[in-house]
Amino acid sequence: MVSTSERPRLIMEDGRRYNGRAYDELRPIRMQVGVLNNANGSALVEYGRTKVLAAVYGPREPQLKHVSIPYRAVLRCRYHMAPFSTHDRKSPAPSRREVELSKVIRESLEPVVVSEMFPRTSIDIFIEVLNADGGTRTASVTAASLALADAGIPMKDLVAGVAVGKVDGVIVLDIDEVEDMYGEADMPVAAAPSLNLITLLQLNGVLTPDEFKKSLDLALSGIRRIHEGMKETLRRRYLEVKVEE
């Protein structure tokens, strides 16, 4: 537990955050699809210094027959943090947190994937966190959604994610590792804006009802901006393909 005297000041006197951002300002976000030749679909997403690579394989016949479902595809997800992604070298073996986040990410994507078009198949998503600086699960959702679209998997909408936090009593958008570590609360959210559908909502810490509503509204406003960037990324990709043809 970090004592109050050891905690860095996260909100400055001018109201800006320690990193110079406004309370509702996203980190610089970069997105690219089609980055892996051997995958059916892939995406590289950066939220500031957080960098996530996602690859999609399928639909394909599952190696284990008993996991197939007669009326739809099975969506499988593996979230993994590279040993070099954190300050202290991480063990390459899957941790309990990685197993949990694999499930969380899969469940955030299942509502939008039109899996009934591919019965008795599996769609496999592999996520590798290359550098972690806060918000890895929400960046992973965004990357996985883009990789599914790049693979040509039919979806009702793209899913984007972002984390909101409470730091020094202020609700802020897209928290980084320092704000996550020393803040009072963090709330990862993912949503499909075109469907008005929230697919992921978690809360660590305590928020009042008013703070919760403000946090959710702030998260959804950020998600809408990320969603527009995702569509533009795919649009550029299709234009590149058309030019190459």
**Looking at residue 245, what is its pLDDT?**
58
Q: Could you tell me the mean pLDDT of each successive run of 10 residues in the chain, 245 residues long?
A: 62 93 98 96 98 96 78 95 74 82 97 96 97 97 98 97 97 97 96 98 97 98 98 89 60
pTM for this structure? 0.92
Residue 238 within a domain: yes
Residue 131 within a domain: yes
C-alpha span between 71 and 18 (Å, rounded)? 51
How many folded domains does the chain comprise?
1
**Looking at residue 7, what is its pLDDT?**
75
Per the CB < 8 A criterion, the answer to whether 165 and 27 are in contact is no
Residue 36 within a domain: yes
**Looking at residue 1, what is its pLDDT?**
33
**Looking at residue 119, what is its pLDDT?**
94
Radius of gyration of the chain (CA): 18
Helices and strands in the chain, H and E counts: 4, 10
Residue 162 within a domain: yes
Residue 1 within a domain: no
Residue 64 within a domain: yes
C-alpha span between 148 and 58 (Å, rounded)? 9
C-alpha span between 51 and 142 (Å, rounded)? 11
C-alpha span between 203 and 101 (Å, rounded)? 14
Q: Which domain holds residue 72?
A: 21-244
**Looking at residue 67, what is its pLDDT?**
73
A 10 A CB-CB count for 64 gives 8
Residue 11 within a domain: no
Query: What CATH number does residue 83 fall under?
Result: 3.30.230.70
